[in-house]
């Protein structure tokens, strides 16, 4: 595409922090163009003060998520053709998080909740002991596998209505992480982890309406992980291990 | 009250109510199909320990289930604190229980 025949996209981009407004830009349409390409074009050619975040550009780092035409997306792997509506794109920061500036959301609350959900590995052996051998076929390993590919992009967190209603709720990503550790036979922190999952911010907030599963760019299913946590916390409660 | 405890009680009472509700509906359909009058119905239920136990259990399960449900709605929609939510749950559950048990007594009492 070139010259007068060039097709253009009407793009509206959020500017400002909590207070702000959408600013209009006209961006040339390209083949195989991603939403991140559009944002980068604006910053390079229209307004160098535009703040946004990305690193890998290939769907690995999880830093480029934004709200595109009302839905959270990983922008580096989202083709414009997939999300454009009537030649228009509206691009804002991720929802359910404070905005630092323009398209950069503050991810701190998102990661704080991983800590609150006890989403860190607690080793059961020291470095002086031999590595534990885990069979790839074992049920626990496969359950952990299903939840393990998360890139911490925050798309599910922004998609979750329950996070919006209950600001204490840990959200799908943190609980998905918790579930992969619950299934990790090397881990020694499960009692604390299940207690966290059963606390007020935990898995029982989830309405199982699956927006997280629908929009997770890695095709993970946090809803299923959370259902697993509901089962395991119930068992632990009945055994009297948590209250 | 802890989230997991509320969850367990709500699921438990829900499970209990599934067969209770089925029987309740069958009884309603039976009574209306047969065109039983209020007096005829009372004639069968008055003094019946079985109906007393059945509806007594139903009322207890429904009170617990409903109170936990209303607590959940208030938590999300009104954003109340845990203490206030617990109080709401107990008050609402007690009202349901009292109203329900009064109705049971009216039906099976002699
Ligand atoms: S299924 Fe649960 S975690 Fe996922 S979006 Fe719905 S409420 Fe949130
Ligand atoms: S679960 Fe999916 S959507 Fe959520 S942070 Fe991980 S990769 Fe992103
Ligand atoms: S820039 Fe790394 S995932 Fe998009």
If you measure CA to CA, which chain A residue comes closest to B6?
A: A204
Between B38-45 and B82-108, two packed helices, what is the crossing angle to 10 degrees?
Answer: 100
Separation of CA A44 and ligand 3 centre (Å): 18
Topology given in CATH for the domain delimited by B3-108: 3 helical TM bundles of succinate and fumarate reductases (1.20.1300)
Interface contact flag, B3 A234, Cβ < 8 Å: no
pLDDT of residue A140: 87
Q: Does B32 touch chain A (CB under 8 A)?
A: no
In angstroms, rounded to a whole number, what is the distance separating the alpha carbons of residues A24 and A46? 11
Q: Which residues of B touch A230 (CB under 8 A)?
A: 7
Label residue A229 by pLDDT band (50, 70, 90). Answer: very high
The structure tokens 């609150």 sit at A116
> Which one of the ligands is nearest to A36 CA?
3
Return the residue in B4, B5, B9, B11 with the most chain A beta carbons within 10 A, the one to mutate for interface testing.
B4
Question: Average pLDDT in the A82-108 region?
Answer: 97
* Across A113-125, average pLDDT: 95
Counting ligands in written order, the one closest to the CA of A58 is 3
Q: What ligand has the least distance to the C-alpha of A55?
A: 3
Q: Which amino acids bring their CB within 6 angstroms of ligand 2?
A: A 150-156, 172-173, 176, 216, 218, 220, 222
Which stretches in chain B have pLDDT values below 70?
none
**Residue B79: per-residue pLDDT:** 87
The CATH number given to A108-238 is 1.10.1060.10
Work out the average pLDDT over A178-193: 94
Q: Is the pLDDT of residue A2 over 90?
A: no
User: Closest approach of chain B CAs to the CA of A184, in angstroms?
Assistant: 22
Sequence-ordered alpha helix ranges (H) in chain A: 35-41, 80-83, 108-116, 139-147, 155-159, 161-165, 172-182, 190-197, 211-215, 222-238
Query: Residue ranges per domain, chain B?
Result: 3-108
Distance CA A73, CA A155 (A): 6
- Please tell me whether residue A85 adopts helix, strand or coil conformation: strand
Across the range A49-68, mean pLDDT stands at 97
Q: Tell me what pLDDT residue A5 has.
A: 67
Mean pLDDT of A224-241: 96
Contact A222, A240 (CB under 8 A): no
* B15 neighbourhood in chain A, CB within 8 Å: none
**Which residues, other chains included, contact A232 with Cβ-Cβ below 8 Å and sequence gap of 6+?**
A182, A194, A197
Q: Measured at the alpha carbon of residue B74, what is the angle toward residues B69 and B76, in degrees to the nearest 5? A: 100
- The pLDDT assigned to A167 comes to 86
Question: pTM for this one?
Answer: 0.89
Question: What is the architecture, at CATH level 2, of domain A8-105?
Answer: Roll (3.10)
pLDDT digits (tens, 9 = 90+) for A135-184: 999 998 898 888 999 999 999 999 999 999 888 999 999 999 999 999 99
Helices B49-77 and B3-33, axial angle in degrees (round to 10)? 130
Tell me whether B90 touches chain A (CB under 8 Å).
no
What number does the ligand 3 atom closest to the CA of A151 have?
A: 3
What pLDDT is stored for residue A154 in this prediction? 98
Q: Where are the domains of chain A?
A: 8-105, 108-238
pLDDT at A1 over 80: no
Q: Do domains A8-105 and A108-238 have the same CATH topology?
A: no
Q: How far apart are CA A57 and CA A122, in angstroms?
A: 32
B76 vs A contacts (CB less than 8 Å): 162, 165-166
Tell me the C-alpha to C-alpha distance, in Å, between residue B31 and each of A134, A170, B17, B41, B53: 62, 50, 20, 8, 19
Q: Could B11 and A234 be called an inter-chain contact, meaning their C-beta atoms sit closer than 8 Å? A: yes
């Amino acid at each position: 595409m070139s010259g007068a025949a060039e097709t253009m996209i009407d793009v509206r981009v959020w500017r400002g922090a909590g207070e702000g407004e959408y600013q209009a830009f006209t961006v040339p349409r390209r083949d195989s163009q991603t939403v991140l390409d559009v944002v980068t074009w604006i910053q390079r050619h229209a307004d160098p003060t535009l703040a946004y975040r990305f690193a890998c550009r290939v769907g690995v780092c999880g830093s480029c998520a934004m709200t595109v035409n009302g839905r959270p997306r990983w922008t580096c792997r989202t083709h414009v053709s997939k999300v454009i509506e009537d030649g228009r794109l509206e691009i804002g920061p991720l929802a359910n998080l404070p905005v630092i500036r323009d398209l950069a959301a503050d991810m701190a609350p998102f990661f704080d909740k991983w800590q609150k959900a006890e989403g860190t590995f607690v080793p059961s052996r020291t470095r002086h002991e031999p590595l534990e051998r885990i069979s790839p076929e074992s049920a626990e390993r496969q359950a952990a596998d299903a939840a393990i590919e998360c890139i911490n992009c925050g798309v599910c967190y922004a998609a979750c209505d329950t996070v919006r209603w209950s600001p204490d709720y840990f959200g799908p990503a943190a609980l998905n992480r918790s579930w992969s550790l619950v299934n990790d036979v090397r881990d020694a922190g499960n009692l604390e982890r299940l207690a966290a999952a059963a606390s007020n911010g935990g898995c029982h907030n989830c309405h199982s309406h699956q927006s997280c599963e629908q929009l997770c760019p890695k095709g993970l299913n946090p809803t299923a992980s959370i259902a697993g946590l509901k089962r395991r916390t119930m068992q632990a409660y009945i055994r009297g291990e948590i209250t | 009250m802890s989230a997991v405890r509320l969850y367990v009680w709500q699921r438990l009472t829900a499970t209990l109510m599934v067969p209770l509700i089925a029987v309740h509906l069958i009884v309603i359909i039976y009574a209306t199909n047969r065109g039983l009058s209020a007096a005829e119905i009372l004639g069968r239920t008055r003094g019946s320990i079985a109906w007393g136990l059945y509806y007594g259990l139903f009322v207890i399960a429904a009170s617990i289930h409903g109170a936990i449900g209303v607590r959940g709605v208030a938590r999300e929609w009104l954003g109340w604190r845990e203490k206030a939510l617990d109080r709401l749950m107990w008050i609402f559950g007690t009202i349901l229980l009292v109203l329900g048990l009064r109705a049971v007594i009216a039906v099976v009492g002699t």
